[in-house]
């Protein structure tokens, strides 16, 4: 089953991830060991954040 994750740096979303399986879990554990938070979210929340990040990227490219 695919999990949708926000990797958190304090209150800020550092990155989004989705995946499953042992390599995915190992990566999440590595982030935790680095002091980052892991927040499991719904597919809808994940899509909204992906869209927000894409819009921010385009705004930076245009300026």
Give the Cα separation of 34 and 22 in Å (integer): 19
For residue range 6-35, what is the model confidence (pLDDT) as tens digits? 999 999 999 999 999 999 999 999 999 999
Beta carbons within 8 Å of 24's beta carbon, 6+ residues apart: 3, 17
Residue 63 has pLDDT above 90, yes or no: no
Total of domains in the chain: 1
DSSP state of 10: T
Across the chain, mean pLDDT equals 96
Q: What is the mean pLDDT of residues 31-59?
A: 96
How many CA atoms are closer than 13 Å to the CA of 19, on its beta-carbon side?
Answer: 12
Domain range spanning residue 26? 3-62
Give the Cα separation of 44 and 26 in Å (integer): 24
């Amino acid at each position: 089953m695919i999990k949708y994750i926000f990797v958190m740096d304090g209150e800020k979303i550092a990155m989004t991830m989705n995946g499953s399986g042992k390599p995915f879990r190992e990566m999440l554990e590595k982030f935790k060991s680095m002091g980052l938070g892991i927040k499991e979210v719904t597919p809808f929340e994940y899509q909204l954040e992906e869209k927000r990040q894409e819009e921010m990227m385009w705004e930076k490219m245009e300026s």
